[in-house]
Amino acid sequence: MRTLLATSIGVTCAAALTLPLAVPASSTSTSATFSSARAPASVEPAAELPGSTQSLPLSPLAPASTRATGAPTTGAAQGLPRRDARPFSLVGVVWDDADAELHGTVQIRTRAAGTTTWSGWQDIETHNTEHAADEGSAEREAGKVRGSTAPLWVGDSDGVEVRVNPEPADPRNRAATSVALPGGLRLELVDPGADPRQPVAGRARSAARTASVIPALTQEDSAREAVVAAGAKPYIGPRPRIITRKGWGANEKLRERRFVYTKKVKAAFVHHSATGNNYRCSQAPAVLRSIYRYHVKSSGWRDFGYNFAVDKCGNIYEGRAGGVTKAVLGAHTLGFNTNSMGVVVLGTFTSKNPPAAAVNSIAKLTAWKLGLFGANPKGKTTLVSGGSNKYKKGKKVKLNVISGHRDGFATECPGKRLYKKLGTARTTSARLQGR
């Protein structure tokens, strides 16, 4: 339900939102160095930051048919046998070369913390390199970025087993061999850490709640935030309630300190996180803290990749730092991060329909944010490709103002079930703008 604020309060909120909402960190974080699959496992000191990442090198596995007999290994598969681990809740696989793709399958099973119960094998989405900073950008050229799978949320766990199988050779070509896996494969086990927000009392509690949530605004008050041509009617939807980075427990010491902006927001790209649907909405902040840590510490990005996130209950979260009203440069749609924003829905929607609450929140968010920059959710816009597997660098591409990730890059993201709902989101978003 929207909070209806008095006009004077709305003006104050609007003015405040023109500044970055995230507090700059006092220092720039550094990523752990890792160079090959033979490098030792690394675990961050527990006291460094809330949460931790265990980085475990993968080793060659014997072919499935010979693992039980101990016969010499001849396959190219890599992985880890069952083993204990420090507590973790999210997993992913990374490798050295950010430009290399993992052609094959990644499967994992985990043991629920404090039990002897192991899950069945779960697939991890391997094609995640399309969620990244554009080629030539400072973030991409910093030398920290690595190739990575999508992260998978597995819940509280303390045991793990993983296998990575290369894509098989073409059976029609007798001389062909299986596709080689990228070098430096490592399993990342991420613990999001406890929610760093501490319980407080009285006025301090009220102030903490205010800092954790950006309240909803009416359409009239939201229009005051916009920058539009003189005399033009501002088509802007009511600002929805947004949970800030502080609200989901983002540790600002993880990310790079400075902010990077583009000129405007001409389009919104919708994604799914491919982290699975086995989370409760009360766990969404922990899922976000895990993805944030995986993006920065494991994948080498400067910050959380997406500009906004939406959970299955329709809650909207601030993503990459820099201010929710600003055109913050993200790392979400390789080739089309400039002059766009990325919205990720937490979950996997390849074969499962997205909740109506999540689709409705996409519409609310885009009606407001695109409206700030004069963009029509039902319209088209032109972006210049920064280079993707679908459009060469420099090509001018006409896209829907609300597009799916697959519109700019050949990928399954945001999942065919969520992609089918984008027409509904466009219509609702335009209606909320008063079009």
Cα separation values, 84 from 64, 112, 274, Å: 22, 11, 25
Looking from the CA of 290 toward its CB, the CA atoms found within 13 Å total 29
Identify whether the C-beta of residue 235 lies closer than 8 Å to the C-beta of residue 306.
no
Q: How many CA atoms lie within 13 A of 76 on its CB side?
A: 16
Distance, in Å, from the CA atom of 275 to the CA atom of 154, rounded to the nearest integer, reads: 8
Q: What is the mean pLDDT of each run of 10 residues along the chain (435 residues)?
A: 35 39 36 37 57 96 56 68 97 94 95 97 83 75 87 98 89 66 96 76 50 86 66 84 96 95 96 96 97 96 97 98 97 93 97 98 98 96 90 94 94 94 98 95
Please give the structure tokens belonging to residue 226: 């916009």
- State the pLDDT at residue 197: 66
Query: Please, which residues bridge with residue 165 across strands?
Result: 105
Predicted pLDDT of residue 409: 87
d(CA 409, CA 407): 6
The residue assigned the tokens 């982290």 is: 275
Whether 320 contacts 261, CB under 8 Å? no
Residues in the chain: 435
Q: Tell me, what's the pLDDT at 168?
A: 83
Closest CA to 122 of 352, 302, 278: 278
At 368, is the secondary structure helix, strand, or coil?
helix
Collect all residues with Cβ–Cβ distance below 8 Å to 311 and sequence separation of at least 6.
279, 281, 284, 287, 317, 345, 346, 358
| pLDDT score at 70 | 45
Computed on alpha carbons and rounded to an integer, the radius of gyration of the chain in Å comes to: 22
Domains and CATH numbers, the chain: 7-18+196-433 (3.40.80.10), 44-191 (no CATH)
Query: Which pLDDT score, from 0 to 100, does residue 64 have?
Result: 54
Q: What angle do CA 302, 304, 309 make, to 5 degrees?
A: 160
Place of tokens 């937490």: 346
Q: The pTM is what?
A: 0.84
